[in-house]
Amino acid sequence: MSGNYKIEWAEVAENDLKVIIEYIAEDSPTNVLKILKKIKQKVSSLYTLPERGRIVPELQDQGISIYRELIIPPWRIICRISEMKVYVLSVLDARRNVEDILLKRLIYPK
């Protein structure tokens, strides 16, 4: 794939990021900007390298290979590429039961 892709954040992913930042701010306000910058920079790399990251293993086990993820421990950023866009769908804490969250959000949405 070549060219620049447009990155679009789903509302749920923006909310995930907001919750993460608010949680970190309670414990460590000095780290909030550093972590936010790190996440945003990693996602920005998708402009030119949209297939960066691995296929989400929990979904691949279900035969679904259209979702990719970037890892910034302890978070997992879930994305999907469509045409010239990269959709950021979720920012999840990998310490939670990620498989259940993904299946509910991506396969069985409300």
Domain ranges of the chain: 6-107
Give me the tens of pLDDT residue by residue for the chain, a chain 110 residues long.
457 999 999 999 999 999 999 999 998 888 999 999 999 999 999 999 999 999 999 888 889 899 999 999 999 999 999 999 999 999 998 887 777 777 676 666 55
Return the bridge partners of 15, or none. Answer: none
Alpha-carbon torsion angle 66, 72, 76, 79, nearest 10:
-30
Q: Would you identify the CATH topology of the domain 6-107?
A: YaeB-like fold (3.30.2310)
The pLDDT, as a whole number, for residue 58 is: 84
The pLDDT, as a whole number, for residue 110 is: 55
Task: Kindly report the pTM of this predicted structure.
Answer: 0.85
The pLDDT, as a whole number, for residue 59 is: 83
Q: In what order do the strands lie in the sheet with 85-93?
A: 6-9, 85-93, 75-82, 67-72, 54-55
20 contact partners, CB below 8 Å, separation of at least 6: 35, 75, 91, 93
The pLDDT, as a whole number, for residue 39 is: 95
